[in-house]
A = this chain, B = another copy of it.
């Protein structure tokens, strides 16, 4: 897994997990990889993965069964969607709008790009 340096790594892991849940790759009740296992897979310090899991547990998206492992919690899909949506609308969107306006970018042109993006990424979707 590759990380950009804009956000902390543990948040990028969180996001990766949220994606799995939103795309129904992982559904409620599924066991997710152990801290160590994931750490090895994505070549990251176990502490960092631990931090991601703790974060997600606090948000109620995953649950720990002691000695067994972490599981996708009940209502995880809805909670994740809710969490990311409010986050997006509160934080990302205003900045996004500000930039579009400042750079004088045509919103309709963006729509075209978005369509292409959706189609172009179709095949990659189930990888990884």
Chain A interface (Cβ < 8 Å from any Cβ of B): 3, 5, 9, 19, 22-23, 45, 64, 66-67, 81, 84-85, 88, 92-94, 96-97, 99-103, 105, 107-108, 110-111, 113-114, 117-118, 121
Least CB separation from A115: chain B residue: B107
Q: How far is the CA of A23 from the CA of B100 in the complex (A)?
A: 13
> Is the pair A9, B114 in contact by a Cβ cutoff of 8 Å?
no
Q: How far is the CA of A117 from the CA of B102 in the complex (A)?
A: 12
Copies of this polypeptide in the complex:
4
Q: How far is the CA of A93 from the CA of B94 in the complex (A)?
A: 14
Other A-B contacts than A22-B103, A23-B102, A94-B117, 7 sampled, CB-CB below 8 A, are A3-B66, A84-B102, A85-B103, A92-B99, A93-B110, A97-B117, A97-B118
Q: How far is the CA of A95 from the CA of B7 in the complex (A)?
A: 13
> Is the pair B99, A113 in contact by a Cβ cutoff of 8 Å?
no
- A sample of 24 cross-chain residue pairs with beta-carbon separation below 8 angstroms, ordered by A number, consists of A3-B66, A5-B64, A19-B102, A22-B102, A22-B103, A45-B67, A81-B103, A84-B99, A84-B103, A85-B103, A85-B105, A88-B99, A92-B96, A92-B99, A94-B117, A96-B96, A97-B114, A97-B117, A100-B114, A101-B117, A101-B121, A107-B114, A108-B111, A111-B111
